[in-house]
Structure 1
């Protein structure tokens, strides 16, 4: 039996202006079987939101629907953790369905992939911004010498690369920006990226967690062993490769799971991969509204994510009710995790942990 791709568009929503761009025409030609429906805005699509409300269509929506638009704003935001700046996105949404993901909270929980066809405008905005900054004269925890731009805050570029050449164009652009690097996190191993020739100017951050937990909450993602093995290949292809231990989900038996993960990484990674390895560590934050949505389509994961006995409520600046681990316990658990990692992977620098 031939399995369908992770993203196999049968329905494409598009802004009419998409057809005026070569990249838009390329994507439409790539999926001739897909029905095309014009919309006023890639962001406002009541028909799509209504479809997402049906839990039984949750994964079908992610596989079968693609949205194409033209990126309007080219705002770059300071970051300071994963990157120095968040770049204008070439996409948003995701074909994967991790049950803890924060991105759907911003989109009415309808979260198929949306791709922007004016990638040249995005590249020019990045080139101008980096030129205005000039050299990075003070090292920081993001990078000692280069300004780092996160290209994939609201999606997964490894999946986007199965749809268009946007990611290839962005990687190529950073080869020619001497004071900057690109960066993006991923949970999908796309070996087509190995041919992009990043020349050390793109950082890929593979998200990792124990395989036992990933089977419950990391839905439609690459297996953990495949992600770990890919680190070596991406380093050999010229990428800088870091890892995200994210999210860290505390539960009974978590110590044994994390110790096994750290040992597997140490066993698999080559000396070259270890020599350049750094990581980020992020403890779980859950969301009350997302919890309600998950109960309708994937309640099993909520047994681990929704733990009021371990968590406390925090209202975000946007008024959303989030749950995070109780402050008095979170620091202790984080220190435990960092201690386990240091015992097995002393070569892995922690860029930040919270």
Structure 2
């Protein structure tokens, strides 16, 4: 691997000289440790499938990955963990596997820091036989820093594409382009600089501007508004993957009205009095057990948000709680929307929230979550 080519892309030959020793160390590390761990050496090759409909999932280290519906996936991002067996298996199914990358935005103005980080990530991807990187940068920046972030994404993409042909570079975008949580990014420039955006259409109550009440994690009307904000900027639909939550929020109610309005604790976040930080995230498998065993209301459904919820009483505190979540019914509405808008695809955070146990009820629930995707994104062979 010729790291000098990365520097040539940036046009920063002096930097390469300054980092020459480090570049050589990385290069030698790759040479020494890049033996293929797969039984078939061909499975260590980068996936060469052209751009296609995407079903984009995140693996956070769970041990049940063999039970995923691999026929329903196109990309898996490894978050904080690496499993060579998973990489080999995913590649046998034609599924890309990528790194997760989080560069400290406070260092954007440092050319040397940016390039050192990029060189290290390229070397890591080569060493681990991965197919690219997903950039997850969620901190606030001001308008003056936005061009630096766009340049960083462009540099990363060029380095990966040059060093690892057919690699994929993606960027995690907020649910809307409107400076969500202080993320005033140049999404148009970023979309042009990478392969596509993964729109994180969840945690949409991180800033609650209205009444401090429990609400849907990914309300349909808000999710659609956010996607259309990106489209109005001129970002092509083929550059957008709709991310949906495979988890819910458990809120303790300060009070619960007869009409099921749950007043929540005031937890400020970035200048707003209330936020979803008043609740706690709960995996789909866990909340379905609560629904079956502890719900006092039975399953309820909000027709504005197109989202299910239920109430339960905590036996330890005797307090009422309300859980908002997404299930096959609500997710199907979002998959239909993504299909109607001709988006690149859909994805989920995260693949390990389902109950992959041998319990028959859990198995049915897990199969239903996977099956909901296939109707809209597994048929046909569209190439983008």
Give the TM interval when normalised to the shorter protein.
0.3 to 0.5
Give TM-score, length-normalised by structure 2.
0.39
Q: Quick one: higher RCO (CA 8 Å, sep 6+), 1 or 2?
A: 2
In our comparison, the structure showing a higher alpha carbon Rg is 2
Give TM-score, length-normalised by structure 1.
0.41
